[in-house]
Structure 1
Amino acid sequence: MTGRRGSNREASATRSRRLRVYRTVHAHHAAQADRHSGVGGPEPAETLRGERPARGKGDLPRRAGEGVHLDRGPSGCGKTTLLKSICNLLEPSSGQVVLHGQRISAPPPEMVLVFQDYSRSLFPWLTVLGNVMFPLKKQNGLDKAEKEQRVNEAIEAVGLTNFAHSYPWQLSGGMQQRVAIARSVAFRPEILLLDEPFASVDALTREGLEDLVLRLRAKYGITVLLVTHDIDEAVYLSDRVFVLGKPPSVVISEVPVDLPRPREQTKTRSDPDFLKLRNEIHGLITHPPGKDEKASDLKLRVEEKGV
């Protein structure tokens, strides 16, 4: 009996150690996703400047509330590197990122980043409610009632009200990604950064998430900057598409997307203008401009609507 009890205690201790490690690893990834989340009001004009080996030069003009896509550069061209440099998860090797006239030296509270691998940014031992609430716990200026209201609104906005008390491991991949998006929306960020957020879900789920982003953008007036390899997705979601070239990457072209809103999956994708834009971007990717073409320093401007 003594030997059996000793074995049970040892097994229990091993499980506890594994659970602590498991929680520590997931907490690290979740903290990375949440520590640069926050709220902030829009400013008339903001600029991002920088140069790094993964990326060359180009101009990225922006307006608040618009959708911008860094589209379809080849793998390794620096799309994700640029996105992480914008929110200071990576420090540029040279140059600087400027927001509201101040150089970014830490993840800014005005920005939220949603990772492609949603499973690594959710706490598996917290419910949907707990995951969405987690980054708001230490947010000053909001009382408990206001935080709960934001969380409930965000969960309702992504269509997960009936799953508020479910755990991530009880949800599908698409539903887990909606939890990650809800957590970001609850912060009411000025700028939402999305790093290929729909790459790991099936086609129908992907379309649903695309429409969700459009609804949230319209409801909260959030500026969205998304990295994608999918040309159709870029045209469907965006107001402007910036096509990146091979590494060291340059901005090959800015393609304005002037398609009617609200956009619908079947109707919009059947529009002749949609097909024209898709073919234009495809041509830029397969037959990029000459290497000698010059571009100015990279700039990201966030301007008030109507400017």
Structure 2
Amino acid sequence: MKPVTRLFLIGAPIVVVVSVIFGGGDDSAVLADNPPENTASAAPNPLASGSDGEKKKLEERIRKMPPGLAAPGKKEMAAQIVASAENSTLDWRDQYDAIEDLDDGNGYTAGIIGFCSGTNDMLQLVEAYTEHHPDNPLASYLPALREVDGTDSHDGLDPGFTQAWAAAAEDPAFREAQDSTRDQLYFDPAVRLAKMDGLSTLGQFIYYDAMVLHGPGLEAGGFYGIRHAAMKEAKTAAEGGSEKEYLNAFLDESRHVIRTKVTETQRDTSRIDTAQRVFLKDGNMDLASPLRWKMYGETFQLPAS
């Protein structure tokens, strides 16, 4: 795994609220309007205004939009581009069993998008998996995962956790749980909010990659904080602004957050400079293949579909 993964801790209250707001694709989901009370947020809840009726109308409008990045072919492409940044490969399905400590302050990083023992998403994944498969190899590590959540500690995890993760990854149900948790916490919220902001398939991908990288936090360095800062610089397409201008502002903010990290490896901005910014400059708003980009100096490409 490349040492450029989720750069900010995702507090449990933030993740829970985000998953409540967006759900997992359930048509009955209602847009909630209460940000976590114990979070000092630089960004307002993006769905906080309006009555329940207005929110339901917004949900209906989003459902009627074209699938965009959620179309199967585009979603596969998104997974491949993210994998090039997270794991230096296009074969994202080969990463279910991957696990290591990247010395980035997030503890163990594992799986298809880098679930971290220190950022709550790994805990949510293992809890969801264990609920339906209580005898799985990771179940006995749940108390330790709860203890180390929010830290980089391995207490209670070593020496057997990495082997247990690899063993669990042999189970199709665990691979499915990774897919589902990725969608619920990152993919679905990013795509739905991008549609709400009037963004194209490329804009939806930019939101998704930022959600994976920075985490769905409301603070200045989290996804919602970055979006809030970008909206101060440019109007979204839904507000009548230029989508390209807004996305450039969003990428500027995301890049700034990356560049403020402590270590040089964390400060690498390839995923913006030689990938997303290139797609945007080329006007590839549909994220149409063939695609060619560089990540950490390595060239990747996807053929025309």
Work out which structure has the larger RCO, using CA pairs closer than 8 Å and 6 or more positions apart in sequence.
1
Say whether the fold is shared (TM-score over 0.5): no
With the shorter chain as reference, the TM-score category is: under 0.3
Q: TM-score, normalized by length of structure 1? A: 0.27
